[in-house]
């Protein structure tokens, strides 16, 4: 301790680095029920999917009881920053999955986690502990069934992410609806969330992290639905979307047809009358992305 103090003259020393977690999921709307007075055949229609973000309600501190991103501090002298992010992800989501490393590349087991950006502004009083390193996680909704609030937070809830900043974050529960406007978020979390949203939108379009939001085997329509949930401006599913995805030379190694134990094509009737072909991501696929012509 005295050694650290002595060092402070030469260069400032950090005593534990804050981490903020942007934990997103793509939630599936509950299926239509017969009570909805709809032709029973409509029951097979795809449930809607939309993007949700985990927020926690702070218990009285400098930022009052505002909703905020979950977060914490690295355990100085024992943790890397990535390890702290993994620990926070587990704590905040009550995940029992064995997350032991960053998942910047999708592994298809439901968790993507990557560092996004470091934030720092002078004047701690304005926005709480500075700096902070923001991490972005995309987690399969099935893994978020047992949320609990960790650390210094009151409640943890998944909020639907609005398509533009004129609309609030919304959370429906049996006890009613909670809405949180962008301006009501603690610290500079509105800025961080805005950056994180652009980040996941870019990532889902340029990498195969959609794999972490889908079952191991999925239909093209389900894949399209996940993309559209994260990027609302993405177009409608068309018959050509599927064909372009499968037949073009630069993409034809991206998905593989799912086969059953007899080597037969596996199909799913979960959401459609006519069974749809199931696919899985090919882990060997490496996207080529460039604005310049391929050399």
Residues of the shown chain interacting with DNA in the complex, contacts defined by CB under 7 A = 39-42, 44-46, 219-221, 237, 239-240, 242-244, 247-252, 267, 269, 271-277, 293-294
Choose the contact partner of 42 out of DNA, a second copy, none; CB within 5 to 8 A by kind.
Answer: DNA
Smallest distance, a second copy to C-beta of residue 51, A: 17
CB nearer to DNA: give 165 or 252: 252
Nearest Cα neighbor of 49 from 232, 255, 235 is: 232
* 289 belongs to the binding site for a second copy (CB under 8 A): yes
* 121 belongs to the binding site for a second copy (CB under 8 A): yes
C-alpha 31: how far from its chain's center? 22
Smallest distance, DNA to C-beta of residue 213, A: 17
Per CB under 8 A, the list member of 40, 60, 123, 166 interacting with a second copy is 123
Smallest distance, a second copy to C-beta of residue 77, A: 5
Ordered DSSP codes for the chain: -HHHHHHHTTS---S--EEEEEEEEEEEPPPP-GGG---GGGGGSPPPEEEEEEEEEEPSBTTBT-EE--EEE--TTT--HHHHHHHHHHHHHT--S---S--SS--SSSEEEEEEEEE--S-HHHHSS--EEEEEEEE-GGGGTT----TTEEEEEEEEPPSSTTS-EEEEETTEEEEE-GGGSSTTHHHHHHHHHHHHHHHHHHSSGGGGGS-SSB-HHHHHHHHHHHSTTS----HHHHHHHHHSTTTTTTEEE-B-TTSPBPEE-SS-SSPEEPEEE-TT------SSPP-
CB nearer to a second copy: give 111 or 134: 134
**Whether the Cβ atoms of residue 169 and residue 161 lie closer than 8 Å to each other:** yes
Residue 64: half-sphere exposure toward Cβ, Cα within 13 Å = 7
Choose the contact partner of 44 out of a second copy, DNA, none; CB within 5 to 8 A by kind.
Answer: DNA
226 is written with which tokens?
A: 């996940």
* 108 belongs to the binding site for a second copy (CB under 8 A): no
The region of 16-24, 27-35, 39-47, 185-193 touching a second copy under the rule CB under 8 A is 16-24
Q: Which of residues 228-247 bind a second copy (CB under 8 A)?
A: 233-236, 240-241, 244-245
Choose the contact partner of 154 out of DNA, a second copy, none; CB within 5 to 8 A by kind.
Answer: none
CB nearer to a second copy: give 25 or 203: 203
Smallest distance, DNA to C-beta of residue 139, A: 25
- In angstroms, the CA 164 to CA 131 distance is 27
* 78 belongs to the binding site for a second copy (CB under 8 A): yes
Smallest distance, a second copy to C-beta of residue 201, A: 10
The region of 90-98, 136-144, 167-175, 283-291 touching a second copy under the rule CB under 8 A is 283-291
Interface with a second copy (CB under 8 A): 8, 11-18, 73-81, 115, 117-124, 129-131, 133, 202, 205-208, 227, 233-236, 240-241, 244-245, 248, 251, 254, 287, 289-293, 295
């Amino acid at each position: 301790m005295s050694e650290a103090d002595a060092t402070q003259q030469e260069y400032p020393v950090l005593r534990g680095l804050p981490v903020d977690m942007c934990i997103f999921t793509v939630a599936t709307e509950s299926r239509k029920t017969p009570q909805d007075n709809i032709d029973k055949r409509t029951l097979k229609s795809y449930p809607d999917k939309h993007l949700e973000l985990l927020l926690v309600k702070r218990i009285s501190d400098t930022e009052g009881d505002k909703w905020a991103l979950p977060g914490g501090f690295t355990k100085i002298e024992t943790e890397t920053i990535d390890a702290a992010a993994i620990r926070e992800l587990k704590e905040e989501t009550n995940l029992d999955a064995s997350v032991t490393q960053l998942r910047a590349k999708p592994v298809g087991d439901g968790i993507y986690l990557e560092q996004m950006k470091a934030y720092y502004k002078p004047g701690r009083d304005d926005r709480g502990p500075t700096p902070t390193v923001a991490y972005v996680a995309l987690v399969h909704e099935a893994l978020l069934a047992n949320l609990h609030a960790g650390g210094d937070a009151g409640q943890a809830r998944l909020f639907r992410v609005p398509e533009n900043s004129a609309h609030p974050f919304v959370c429906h529960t049996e006890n009613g609806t909670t809405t949180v406007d962008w301006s009501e978020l603690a610290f500079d979390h509105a800025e961080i969330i805005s950056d994180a949203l652009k980040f996941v939108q870019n990532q889902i379009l340029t990498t195969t992290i959609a794999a972490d939001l889908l079952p191991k085997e999925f239909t093209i329509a389900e894949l399209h639905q996940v993309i559209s949930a994260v990027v609302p401006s993405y177009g409608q599913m068309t018959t050509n979307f599927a064909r372009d995805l499968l037949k073009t030379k630069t993409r034809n190694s991206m998905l593989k047809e799912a086969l059953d134990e007899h080597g037969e094509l596996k199909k799913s009737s979960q959401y459609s009358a006519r069974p749809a072909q199931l696919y899985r991501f090919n882990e060997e696929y490496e996207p080529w992305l460039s604005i310049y012509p391929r050399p």
